Amino acid sequence: DIVVIGSLNMDMVVRSGRAPEAGETVIGDSFVLSAGGKGANQAVAAARLGSTVRLVGKVGADAFGSELLEIIKQEGIDSEYLSVSGSRSTGVASIVLEESGENRIIVVPGANMELTADDIQLLEPVITGAKLLVMQLEMDLHMTEQAVGIAHASGIPVILNPAPAQRLSDELLSHVTYLTPNETEAGILSGVQVDNLDSAREAAAVLLRKGVQNVIMTLGAQGALIVNSQGQIHVPGFPVKAVVDTVAAGDSFNGALAQQLTAGRSLEEAVTFANAVGALAVGKAGAIPSLPTLAEVEQFLER
Ligand code: ADP
């Protein structure tokens, strides 16, 4: 099965004509609560495509935490290793969307940061029993390094989605089987600004030299670029008539990649399929609500 060690957050989205100044109160237009966090999104993406998924993480002892646990269980994801923090709140993102399109976001990681390298020591059998480990960067970095190191040492393949963007040690990178940055993340990790296919290839080459086995760079509407010791393949994206929102595009791509690789697909087949999943996710609103089922992807690919 696929083991995802990752974040669970509740997104609180307020739409308002404008954001308030300091000391000011404004009347907003709407409020939506939606489940998210890159770990939860990627776990749900893989589960909806038919994978057996186990999500390892932490929520707070509050209403948001219970709701997230409920959602994860409803998706058929194994929640045995999702625990409840005694002291910290569930991770939240407080998001204000202004009419101008400007957004202001405060993320409070809360319980997500409480999963420590010590916890990972205890979770070693969970990692070494996995077919594939999937991680992101919304949790404690030391814990992440520890988990990826354990997987590497036991020959368990690792997808690391380096989001949100952060510099990473060469040691961590050298333990990663599939690194899946978007263009911005690839730029920060490699020091090469990515704005076209040539610079994408250059950035990927830097990351390969740091020891990453396969770089799979997502390129938005352009699809993705696979670079490894065998060479490089640009896998074009699928045209989308109406992009509703790009929330969870990257997460849907990563979940799909995990599902395909554990189902024995070649890397190119897996990336083609993940591009289809990403295209479906940008055509629908929200994070988890936008993630397609296997039947929806198959129907999309037949057209
Ligand atoms: P992120 O959302 O993490 O920045 P990208 O924007 O690169 O990541 O999107 C991830 C994947 O989602 C892409 O590789 C592609 O498969 C799909 N995707 C994103 N935007 C579009 C789009 N406008 N049209 C078609 N596919 C898209």
Q: What are the φ/ψ torsions at residue 7 (nearest 5 degrees)? A: -80, 150
DSSP letter, residue 112: G
Contact 218, 181 (CB under 8 A): yes
- Residue nearest atom 22 of ligand 1, based on CA coordinates: 221
Binding residues for substrate: 9-11, 37-41, 138, 251
Query: What's the chain's Rg over C-alpha atoms?
Result: 19
* 136 CB within 6 A, ligand 1: no
Q: How far apart are CA 128 and CA 164, in angstroms?
A: 26
State the distance from the centre of ligand 1 to the C-alpha of 237, rounded, in angstroms: 8
**For the chain, which residues make up each domain, given as ranges?**
2-8+38-63+75-88+112-302
Which ipTM value was assigned to this complex?
A: 0.99
Tokens representing 41?
A: 């999104």
Contact 281, 290 (CB under 8 A): yes
119 is annotated as an active-site residue: no
* 255 CB within 6 A, ligand 1: no
* 237 CB within 6 A, ligand 1: yes
Return the residue matching tokens 């554990």: 262
Contact 233, 268 (CB under 8 A): yes
State the distance from the centre of ligand 1 to the C-alpha of 158, rounded, in angstroms: 21
- Residue nearest atom 13 of ligand 1, based on CA coordinates: 220
Which pLDDT score, from 0 to 100, does residue 245 have? 86
Catalytic residue selected from 62, 119, 140, 251: 251
Strands 91-98 and 82-85 turn out to be unpaired
Question: What burial letters (b/e) apply to 14-35, b meaning 16+ CB within 10 Å?
Answer: bebeebeeeeeeeebeeeeebb
Q: How far apart are CA 8 and CA 69, in angstroms?
A: 9
State the distance from the centre of ligand 1 to the C-alpha of 139, rounded, in angstroms: 23
Distances (CA, A) of 33 to 13, 85, 287: 6, 21, 11
Binding residues: 9-11, 37-41, 138, 182, 218-223, 245, 247, 250-251, 275, 281, 284, 286, 290
**Each residue of 50-72: pLDDT tens digit?**
999 999 999 999 999 999 999 99
**Each residue of 245-256: pLDDT tens digit?**
888 999 999 999
Domain 2-8+38-63+75-88+112-302 falls under CATH 1.20.1260.10: no
Atom number of ligand 1 nearest to Cα 277: 16
Strands 30-36 and 9-16 turn out to be antiparallel
Low-confidence ranges of the chain (pLDDT < 70): none
Which pLDDT score, from 0 to 100, does residue 136 have? 98
